[in-house]
Amino acid sequence: MIEATAQDPYPLQADSLIDQMNIISHFDCATRLSEIHSPTLVIGCAEDIIFPAKDVKNLAIGIREAKYHEIQNAPHSIHIEQPEHVAKIIEEFLIQPRSVFLLKKDLIS
């Protein structure tokens, strides 16, 4: 993460990070999750301190056709640190037949 941050051509400023954290802490979309009617991949990261995996899993539970995938030993910026791994998870999700989502409770582990 440190290496990726050091190489970021658009580094996040401290005041921007504080603003983002304030916005995130006051945003709640839980009441609208049932409005999502499409197969949805929800990726949680076990070491994410911004969006803890348990909270991300709860988002997935609220979406009718969601598949939850948790990445172990992963921080918030997993897409930066391990883009190939994230791309593989997304690819596997996209090639699944839609009928897989009919048994949602089996997909949330």
* Cα(45)–Cα(58) distance, integer angstroms: 13
- pLDDT for the residue 84: 94
AA letter at 105: K
Domain range list for the chain: 37-109
What's the CATH number of domain 37-109, 3.40.630.30, 3.40.50.300, 3.40.50.1820, 3.30.470.20? 3.40.50.1820
The neighbour count for residue 23, using CB atoms within 10 Å, is: 9
Residues for the chain: how many in total? Answer: 109
**What does pLDDT average to over the chain?**
81
- pLDDT for the residue 109: 46
- pLDDT for the residue 25: 77
Element (H, E) at 40: strand 40-45
- pLDDT for the residue 11: 66
AA letter at 63: I
- pLDDT for the residue 92: 93
Residues facing residue 68 across a β-bridge:
42
- pLDDT for the residue 105: 47
Low pLDDT (below 50) residues in the chain: 1, 105, 109
Estimate to the nearest angstrom the gap between the alpha carbon of 30 and the chain centroid.
15
- pLDDT for the residue 10: 62
